[in-house]
Amino acid sequence: MVEFKQIIGRGIDFPSLALQTGKPDADPFDLLCHLAFNAPLLTRRQRAERVRREENGFFAQFAPEAREILTELLEKYAADGELQFTLPDVLKLPPISQHGNVNEIIRKFGGSESLRFAVAELQKILYVA
């Protein structure tokens, strides 16, 4: 998967591009594909809703509170975009921060590696199909 931070580092300003094209809620990946290849354009909300609908197995592998945190991350993505997945910063933001401090949240996933894996998998399934 392309790292959007790398693309941003090359001078592409996605918020400005999204506003100029009249697609402020578009996912950056979809916006690029749409502009370059005329691919269908999905919003972040549409991607998040697809994950909620079709990826129950992913969420089921986590304890209830960890599942709730992942659902909140998905909502932050839908509202604010991909960069909201930056760990550990996103764990310090409401509503996720209401689950405890960073270390307490990490424990809910069984450790930092498990949390990183869960977030990386969530990002992957956002871009399937």
Q: Which of 27-31, 38-42, 45-49, 64-68 has the lowest mean pLDDT?
A: 27-31
Q: Are 82 and 27 in contact (CB under 8 A)?
A: yes
Q: Are 83 and 4 in contact (CB under 8 A)?
A: yes
Q: Based on the domain organization, do 76 and 120 belong to the same domain?
A: yes
On average, the pLDDT of the chain sits at: 88
Q: Based on the domain organization, do 69 and 32 belong to the same domain?
A: no
Instruction: Fill in the amino acid letter for 68.
Output: E
Q: Based on the domain organization, do 14 and 51 belong to the same domain?
A: no
CA dihedral 118, 30, 1, 6 (to 10 degrees): -110
Q: Structural domain of residue 116, as residue ranges?
A: 44-126
Q: Based on the domain organization, do 18 and 65 belong to the same domain?
A: no
Q: Based on the domain organization, do 53 and 107 belong to the same domain?
A: yes
| Model pTM score | 0.82
pLDDT score of 83: 57
Closest CA to 129 of 75, 24, 53: 53
Beta partners for residue 43, in sequence order: 26
What average pLDDT does this structure show over 73-87? 83
As a residue count, the chain comes to: 129
Q: Based on the domain organization, do 25 and 59 belong to the same domain?
A: no
Domain count of the fold of the chain:
2
Q: Based on the domain organization, do 48 and 11 belong to the same domain?
A: no
